[in-house]
Structure 1
């Protein structure tokens, strides 16, 4: 049985290392 997606992921921001630098990323950066 496959899982069912009922709701969109909540909006979030997080600090991440991107190309050796700390940056703030968010769900909106990857939403397609």
Structure 2
């Protein structure tokens, strides 16, 4: 159960951060 919660929390934090300042860090990793 802890692993499932972590997976959902990380996925929700990734989209929110990518829309904020980490927008430059999101494009590079996506191209790789």
TM above 0.5, yes or no, is no
Greater helix share, 1 or 2? 2
Greater strand share, 1 or 2? 1
- Mark the structure with the bigger radius of gyration: 1
TM-score by length of 1: 0.20
The structure whose RCO (Cα within 8 Å, separation 6+) is larger is 1
TM-score by length of 2: 0.20
